[in-house]
């Protein structure tokens, strides 16, 4: 990834490094530059970023714009770091506090930088036993899984939950959250990742490459779908009457809704939202030893393009993280 000269005035006192893009495209459109450091507004905190996760939504926005439209902009929603300053009205945090959280999705992007300002209530204290790298990997995937399984599906003890792509970023966290809720968890993954998924607590693992999931799995109460497309439609077949499919890939949902009605099941899509209560619940699971995040690779901020390229292979187990500070 290239480095460009500072875009701010030469007289600016407080600058920071950030990864930006001026056009949509391949990972090579990302570059490191210097910009003016943000100032926390009313109700905001300024966080010195130590680590920031990279998620599929990052490379999708890089290439397609999705919600953010045309660049220039800085991507990134996951944050783990230390409070540098607080804005007017903030009473929950003080400079020096270690925090982690997710910036408001989708329009609050900007964590792939040395500093980021965001709403105080998008953050919670970082568990002491969690490194910044681990904490930087968790927020978006953990909130997605929590909101899908707990807020939307309302998973209860004894229910059967199918987690598609159970070794992925959202999937590997969802398996653990579902188990923490007392569910019987079935995950799909390639054969090479079965031991990993079982190690997360899955009761069954199905090889989606060699088996027909609709034939192997049935009488399911909840399906978590991070795949979309034809697999989302097929997943409806495994639900018991009254069961629910929650898709984290919003889009053309008409056919899915119609088929769900025919089968006597429910289907809904959702977008993750920043959520302090959800983050607090995630932190509690971490502290109780019921949730861990798997980081398969780290990259310095200047190598964000390499992280995007690896992520786009679709073979990553768990999460990739940008390391900003030691």
Q: Mind listing the pLDDT tens digit for each residue in 68-77?
A: 999 999 999 9
pTM of the model: 0.94
pLDDT at 4: 56
Of the candidates 164, 112, 115, which has an alpha carbon nearest to the alpha carbon of residue 140?
Answer: 112
Say which residue, 210 or 171, is predicted with more confidence. Answer: 171
User: Tens digits of per-residue pLDDT, 277-300?
Assistant: 999 999 999 999 999 999 999 999
Q: Is residue 298 part of a domain?
A: yes
What CATH number has the domain bearing residue 168?
3.40.50.720
Q: What is the mean pLDDT of the chain?
A: 94
Flag whether pLDDT at 275 surpasses 80: yes
How many domains is the chain partitioned into structurally? Answer: 2
Asked whether residue 6 falls in the same domain as residue 133, the answer is yes
Q: No. of H helices and E strands in the chain?
A: 10, 16
Flag whether pLDDT at 10 surpasses 60: no
Please identify which residue in the block is written with the tokens 């609709």.
Answer: 214
Taking phi first (over 0 means left), then psi (-120 to 50 degrees means alpha), and beta for anything else, what does residue 137 get?
Answer: alpha
Does residue 106 have a cis peptide bond before it, meaning omega lies within 30 degrees of 0? yes
User: Tens digits of per-residue pLDDT, 52-70?
Assistant: 999 999 999 999 999 999 9
What CATH number has the domain bearing residue 130?
3.90.180.10
Q: Tell me, what DSSP letter sits at residue 21?
A: B
The predicted model gives 166-175 an average pLDDT of 98
Token pair listed for 290: 């019921």
pLDDT at 229: 85
pLDDT at 11: 36
For 141, the 3-state DSSP assignment is: helix
pLDDT tier, 92 (very low <50, low <70, confident <90, very high otherwise): very high
Flag whether pLDDT at 251 surpasses 80: no
Asked whether residue 48 falls in the same domain as residue 108, the answer is yes
Which sign, positive or negative, has the C-alpha torsion 276, 138, 167, 27? positive
Q: Is residue 246 part of a domain?
A: yes
Structural domain boundaries, residue 158:
141-269
């Amino acid at each position: 990834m290239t480095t460009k000269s500072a875009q701010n005035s030469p007289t600016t006192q407080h600058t920071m490094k950030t990864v930006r893009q001026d056009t949509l495209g391949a990972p090579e459109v990302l570059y490191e530059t210097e910009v003016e450091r943000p100032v926390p507004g009313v109700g905001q905190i300024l966080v010195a970023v130590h680590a920031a996760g990279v998620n599929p939504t990052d490379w999708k926005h890089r290439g397609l714009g999705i919600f953010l439209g045309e660049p220039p902009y800085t991507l990134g929603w996951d944050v783990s770091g230390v409070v540098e300053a607080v804005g007017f009205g903030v009473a929950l945090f003080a400079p020096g506090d270690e925090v982690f959280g997710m910036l408001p999705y989708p329009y609050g992007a900007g964590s792939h930088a040395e500093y980021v300002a965001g709403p105080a209530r998008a953050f919670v204290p970082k568990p002491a036993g969690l490194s910044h790298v681990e904490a930087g990997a968790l927020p978006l995937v953990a909130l997605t899984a929590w909101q899908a399984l707990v807020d939307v599906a309302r998973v209860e003890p004894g229910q059967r939950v199918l987690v598609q792509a159970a070794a992925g970023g959202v999937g590997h966290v969802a398996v653990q959250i579902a188990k923490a809720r007392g569910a019987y968890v079935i995950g799909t993954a390639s054969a090479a990742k079965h031991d990993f998924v079982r190690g997360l607590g899955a009761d069954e693992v199905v090889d989606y490459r060699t088996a027909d999931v609709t034939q192997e799995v049935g009488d399911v109460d909840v399906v978590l779908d991070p795949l979309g497309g034809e697999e989302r439609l097929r997943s409806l077949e495994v639900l018991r009457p009254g069961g629910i499919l929650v898709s984290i890939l919003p889009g053309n949902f008409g056919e899915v809704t119609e088929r769900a009605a025919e089968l006597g099941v429910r289907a809904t899509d959702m977008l993750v939202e920043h959520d302090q209560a959800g983050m607090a619940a995630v932190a509690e699971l971490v502290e109780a030893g019921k949730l861990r995040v798997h980081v398969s690779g780290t990259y310095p901020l200047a190598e964000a393009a390499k992280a995007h390229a690896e992520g786009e292979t679709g073979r990553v187990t768990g999460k990739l993280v940008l390391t900003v500070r030691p």
